[in-house]
């Protein structure tokens, strides 16, 4: 089993990442930490509480309760940018989730990440699917924890694509300085960017079919994915729900789900025009050492097999 900490800003696709991580037998979900991004810190935290309540609070692979810790409400330097145009005013519009009965740990996300890494007897994979503020703060506060990190598999960035400005992807744009700290950490980083996640679609027919399952999980996930798919169609002309964040978890479960190239990737932090751009040196013209495995191809069928399998597993478990 692979031990992971999922740092997220739920967010419809973050919800799918949590559901996949909590229900797949390959993953030991050591904790969920939240960060401001898709919505304010208060809203992403509340959404995480509701999602963990919906799925029964426990990691299926271990039977253990999944700890939840709340993180940063603002980026390191920039004012917060949220995305109601994609995720709605709650950050998880499209269906009513159960009233939460999951409470946060006493410690915050940064201290939870530091404590969990320090106390672990094996290296842990960090899976950030929101702005990288918590991860960067943990590295700044306790640099030695890097020795306990196996790898960082993050959803963010893009080589050819963008969504928040013509130059940048949302997670990197919101906190570019945090992203630079993570990309320059010297740790193995895999970038699951828009080049592959915008192809990793739950199409409208797949969503309608899932709604028809009418299980305890699928009857809520379906309408949420329908809302998310419509928002992506309205904003980007994408014909379905690009389940960005779940692809990062899928990569941890089955690395063959994406094909990567080892490239130098630097983050634009100086220019306002291209703020947050993940500049990938495809042709090695800079002479800078590669530092990131950049996902450029995706096996969408394998991804959907894992993702839909997770929802079916939760439908069975929650019956």
Does the annotation count 12 as an active-site position?
no
Helix (H) or strand (E) holding 127: strand 124-128
User: Cα separation of 38 and 198, whole Å?
Assistant: 17
Binds 240, which of ligand RIB, Ca ion, none (CB < 5 to 8 A, cut-off by type)?
Answer: none
What separation in angstroms does the CA of 196 have from each of 1, 43, 169, 247? Answer: 25, 27, 13, 9
Q: Residue 176 binds what, of ligand RIB, Ca ion, none (CB under 5 to 8 Å, by partner type)?
A: none
Cβ proximity to Ca ion, 14 vs 59, nearer residue: 14
Rounded least distance, CB 316 to ligand RIB, Å = 27
Whose CA is closest to 66, among 79, 80, 56? 56
- How far is the CA of 11 from the CAs of 130, 187, 290, in angstroms? 9, 27, 31
Q: Which is nearer to Ca ion, 54 or 246 (CB)?
A: 246
Stretch that binds ligand RIB, among 39-47, 93-101, 169-177, 304-312 (CB under 6 A): 169-177
37 binds ligand RIB (CB under 6 A): yes
In the three-class reduction of DSSP (H, G, I as helix; E, B as strand; rest coil), residue 278 is classed as: strand
E strand or H helix that includes residue 73 = none
- Choosing from 70, 244, 251, 275, the catalytic residue is 244
Using CB under 6 A, which of the segments 140-148, 168-176, 288-296, 305-313 binds ligand RIB?
Answer: 168-176
**Cβ distance to ligand RIB smaller for residue 39 or 116:** 39
Answer for which of 23, 33, 125, 163 binds ligand RIB (CB under 6 A) is 163
Q: Pick one of Ca ion, ligand RIB, none as the site partner of residue 151 (Cβ within 5 to 8 A by kind).
A: none
End-to-end CA distance of the chain: 26
The C-alpha atoms of residue 109 and residue 284 are separated, in whole angstroms, by: 37
Nearest one of 163, 146, 152 to 188, comparing CA atoms: 152
Distance CA 157, CA 160 (A): 9
Give, as ranges, the residues between 107 and 166 that touch Ca ion (CB under 5 A). Answer: 129-130
Q: Would you count residue 9 as binding ligand RIB (CB under 6 A)? A: yes
129 interacts with ligand RIB by CB under 6 A: yes
Closest contact distance (angstroms) between CB of 239 and Ca ion is: 21
SS3 for 205?
A: helix
Contact track, ligand RIB, 131-160, x by CB under 6 A: ------------------------x-----
Query: Residue 285: how many CA atoms within 13 Å on its side-chain side?
Result: 5
By rule CB under 6 A, what count of residues binds ligand RIB? 15
Catalytic residues: 244
Which stretches of the chain bind ligand RIB, using CB under 6 A? 9, 11, 13-14, 37-38, 129-130, 155, 163, 169-171, 244-245
């Amino acid at each position: 089993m692979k031990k992971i900490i999922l740092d997220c800003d739920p967010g419809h696709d973050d919800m799918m990442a949590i559901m996949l991580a909590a229900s797949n037998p390959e993953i030991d979900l050591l904790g969920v930490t939240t960060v401001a991004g898709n919505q304010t810190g208060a809203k992403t935290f509340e959404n995480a509480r509701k999602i963990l309540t919906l799925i029964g609070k426990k990691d299926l692979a271990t039977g253990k309760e999944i700890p939840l810790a709340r993180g940063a409400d603002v980026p390191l330097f920039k004012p917060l940018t949220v995305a109601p145009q994609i995720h709605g005013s709650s950050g998880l519009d499209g269906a009513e989730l159960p009233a939460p009965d999951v409470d946060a740990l006493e410690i915050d996300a940064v201290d939870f990440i530091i404590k969990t890494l320090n106390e672990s007897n094996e290296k842990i994979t960090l899976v950030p699917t929101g702005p990288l503020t918590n991860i960067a703060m943990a590295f700044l506060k306790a640099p030695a924890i890097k020795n306990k990190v196996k790898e960082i598999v993050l959803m963010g960035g893009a080589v050819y694509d963008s969504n928040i400005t013509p130059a940048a992807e949302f997670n990197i744009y919101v906190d570019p300085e945090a992203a630079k700290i993570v990309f320059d950490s010297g740790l193995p980083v895999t970038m699951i960017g828009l080049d592959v996640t915008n192809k990793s679609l739950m199409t409208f027919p797949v969503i309608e079919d899932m709604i028809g399952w009418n299980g305890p999980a699928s009857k809520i996930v379906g309408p949420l994915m329908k809302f998310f798919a419509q928002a992506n169609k309205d904003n980007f002309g994408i014909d379905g729900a690009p389940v960005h964040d779940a692809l990062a978890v899928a990569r941890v479960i089955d690395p063959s789900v994406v094909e990567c190239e080892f490239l130098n990737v630097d983050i634009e932090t100086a220019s306002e025009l291209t703020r947050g751009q993940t500049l990938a040196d495809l042709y090695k013209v800079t002479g800078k050492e590669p530092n990131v495995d950049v996902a450029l191809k995706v096996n969408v069928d394998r991804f959907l097999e894992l993702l839909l399998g997770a929802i079916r597993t939760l439908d069975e478990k929650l019956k």
